A = this chain, B = another copy of it.
Amino acid sequence: MTEPLRLGIAGLGTVGAGVVKIVRKQAKLLEARTGRRIEISAVSARDRQKDRGVNLANYDWEDDAVVLAKRDDIDIFVELMGGSDGPAKAATEAALAAGKDVVTANKALLAIHGQALAEAAEAAGRVIRFEAAVAGGIPVIKALTEGLAGNEITRVMGVMNGTCNYILTRMESEGLGYNALFDECARLGFLEADPQLDVGGIDAAHKLAILSAIAFGTQPDFDGVEIEGIERISLEDIRQAADMGYRIKLLGVAARSPRGLVQRMQPCLVPAGSPIGQLEGGTNMVVIEGDAVDQIVLRGPGAGEGPTASAVMGDICDLARGLRIPTFGIPATQLETMPAALTGMPAPYYLRMALMDKPGALAKVAAILGDAGISIDRMRQYGHTNNTAPILIVTHKTTRAALDMALSAFEKTDVVASEPVTLRIEEV
């Protein structure tokens, strides 16, 4: 029998407690599957007194995660504290320096400091695993890094923030506005301490930057992600989109393009009947496209104690079984740097605005679009209220640059009453 594999777990929130529960409950199963006993040596969290619904009496307690990370009696440092800097980063660095492997659920840490950490891990001959950092219980890091290793990946897409998807699907199903649903999410505990991480698209963008690095063999480049949150999505847009056969999703898209690496996390219209369009509530979905496999769609719970702990345990089992892969699939020193593509691939756009009640208003708008080289696929004008008339335009494929040119021309006219809403329509 080989030696047991000893864990040090830092962070005992929902996920940390979930990992402790699985290690205790499934000890026999885990040993059969990995050939090693999996044990917890010590744990660390902020508040020692808090009841976490799990018996911690047999594990040493460390107040300081950095001290935990360096203990001689742990093989894997399990980082479940969160936060891109501070104790999570310090303890991860300490663990690697002390010769420990690291399993983490921390997307912010990896999206922002992933390159430096990957280099540190490889210099120390250690590995970092992070299945739980992206799309909760879905084994997407494994699918991309290992299962599809024979593919040149061409595109990765994903709905990866459950809170945003919950808000957007409830806006449509309940007819409630964004603010009411934001408040509901706050009450239900669905929001991060800083809600901008969720509704501002930042959390999902962290995940996209990680997927992108693995998919394209590039250094994680969170700063290169074009990010737009869902705060400005109105019930009106949800309804109009639905009426035309679309749903609005906070969708991440990453692809290599001739102009550089495309990384976008923004609200988009997708066909209502597509797998992404049909995704309800807090469920996540990741779509991976490769030259050999064509397209794989993975769907599952994006958060929660069980699913996230399941992903952490998958990583721990991999390490117990001896799997050792560079952090982002290839050695950190071989990861390319690629400029961010400033303009994405052309796409159709959804455009909503209010026209002033003046003769020739619509003609002016149409002329501006024509001058910008944008052709109209579908247009609807509604009756006037308060001297303005809502209009809705779906364009044929155009570039963001052409659209921006048209938007700035609209501003100089006296016929557009409010700032136009523009949303990309993504082919999924």
Binding site for B on A (CB under 8 A): 18, 22, 26, 29-30, 32-35, 131, 137-139, 142-143, 146-152, 217, 275, 278, 290-301, 304, 306-307, 309-314, 316-318, 321-325, 329-331, 334
Contact = CB atoms under 8 A, between A and B. Distances in A.
A148 to B, nearest CB: 6
A150 B148 CA distance: 22
A294 B314 contact: no
Contacts of A318: 146, 149
A293 B322 contact: no
Contacts of A298: 296-299
A316 B150 contact: yes
9 contacts: A30-B150, A143-B147, A147-B314, A149-B318, A293-B301, A293-B306, A293-B311, A295-B301, A298-B298
A147 B308 CA distance: 12
Given A278-B278, A296-B298, A297-B298, A317 B34 contact: no
A209 B321 CA distance: 24
Contacts of A149: 30, 33-34, 313-314, 317-318
Chain A to chain B: the 8 pairs with minimum beta-carbon distance, closest first: A150-B313, A139-B147, A149-B317, A292-B310, A293-B310, A137-B293, A292-B306, A297-B299
A224 to B, nearest CB: 21
B152 A148 contact: no
B150 A139 contact: no
Contacts of A299: 275, 296-299
A307 B323 contact: no
A26 B150 contact: yes
Copies in the complex: 2
Contact of A33 (B131, B138, B307, B329): B329
A314 B150 contact: yes
A404 to B, nearest CB: 36
A298 B297 CA distance: 6
B146 A143 contact: no
A143 B300 CA distance: 12
B321 A307 contact: no
A330 B32 contact: yes
Nearest to A313: B150
A18 B313 contact: no
Contacts of A33: 149, 329-330
Contacts of A331: 32, 35
Interface centre among A149, A301, A313 (most CB of B within 10 A): A149
A156 to B, nearest CB: 14
A82 to B, nearest CB: 20
B310 A150 contact: yes
Interface centre among A29, A35, A322 (most CB of B within 10 A): A29
